[in-house]
């Protein structure tokens, strides 16, 4: 599973970082950094929750 961010939608709220800190990180400039695009199986549920909770629907997955 691969996770992608639409940077035209992301506003840097960081909800995804709270939900899945092993995958998402807000850097010092307030921009979202995806730590690992290829999501390990133990992170799948956290990433799916982050996608559902993203207020701007900026995240998507590709199986
Ligand atoms: S929750 Fe959505 S809008 Fe907020 S930082 Fe993550 S991807 Fe961006």
- Summarised one tens digit per residue, pLDDT across range 1-58 is 999 999 999 999 999 999 999 999 999 999 999 999 899 999 999 999 999 999 999 9
What CA–CA distance (Å, rounded) separates 44 from 29? 27
Report CA(15)–ligand 1 centroid distance (Å): 6
**Could you tell me the pTM of the whole model?**
0.93
Ligand 1 atom nearest to 53, measured from its CA: 1
A 10 A CB-CB count for 45 gives 11
Ligand 1 atom nearest to 24, measured from its CA: 6
Residues 63, 9 contacting (CB under 8 angstroms): no
What is the pLDDT at residue 37?
A: 87
Q: Provide the phi-psi class of 40: left if phi over 0, else alpha when psi is between -120 and 50, else beta.
A: beta
Instruction: Tell me the C-alpha to C-alpha distance, in Å, between residue 30 and each of 44, 59, 61.
Output: 24, 16, 22
pLDDT exceeds cutoff 90 at 63: no
What CA–CA distance (Å, rounded) separates 34 from 6? 12
């Amino acid at each position: 599973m691969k996770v992608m961010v639409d940077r035209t939608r992301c506003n840097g709220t960081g909800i995804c970082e709270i939900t899945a800190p092993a995958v998402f990180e807000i850097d010092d400039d307030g921009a979202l950094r995806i730590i690992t695009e290829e999501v390990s199986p133990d992170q799948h549920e956290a990433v799916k929750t982050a996608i559902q909770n993203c207020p701007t629907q900026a995240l998507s997955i590709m199986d």
